[in-house]
Amino acid sequence: MPKRVLTGTVVSDKGDKTIVVRVERRVKHPLYGKIIKLSKKYHAHDEANAYATGEQVRIQECAPISKNKSWTVLDRIGAAQAVAVELRDDTVATPTPAEKPAKATKGKAKAEPAATDA
């Protein structure tokens, strides 16, 4: 039986000689017909630690290397895409809280009992 080859994106390269590749596939919902994206993560062997997060790679099925690894990296398809970084501007002065007006000292008037004519 031929070995499966999948294409995906590297989501983690923290392990030694191991990368995690997310492979996305699209399926049609059986009842509603909407196209849904499903993804699965595969641990793949990277002997030279040559692949970085964000790169597009092809992986091939192989004999189990460890408990979770049974894929090896074939080649790089695309380089990592630039990730937009949002910078925070902390120089904006924060407004001071407005002073609360002094509470008026209203005494609650006691309700006088209603006078009944007898």
CATH number of 5-78: 2.40.50.140
pLDDT, position 93: 61
Query: Residues 83-112: what's their mean pLDDT?
Result: 65
Q: How confident is the model at residue 101 (pLDDT cuts 50, 70, 90)?
A: low
Residue 25 has what pLDDT?
97
pTM of the entire predicted model? 0.66
pLDDT classification of 26: cutoffs 50, 70, 90: very high
Share of the chain above pLDDT 70, in %: 72
12 has a pLDDT exceeding 70? yes
* Cβ burial 21-55 (10 Å sphere, 16+ → b, else e): beeeeeeeeeeeeeeeeeeeebbbbbeeeebeeeb
Q: Under a CB-based contact definition with an 8 Å cutoff, are residues 40 and 7 in contact?
A: no
CA distance 41 to 66: 16
- Among the residue ranges 36-40, 77-81, 106-110, the one predicted with the least confidence is 106-110
- Lowest mean pLDDT across 33-37, 72-76, 102-106: 102-106
| Whole-number average pLDDT of the chain | 86
φ/ψ of 97, rounded to 5, equals -65, 135
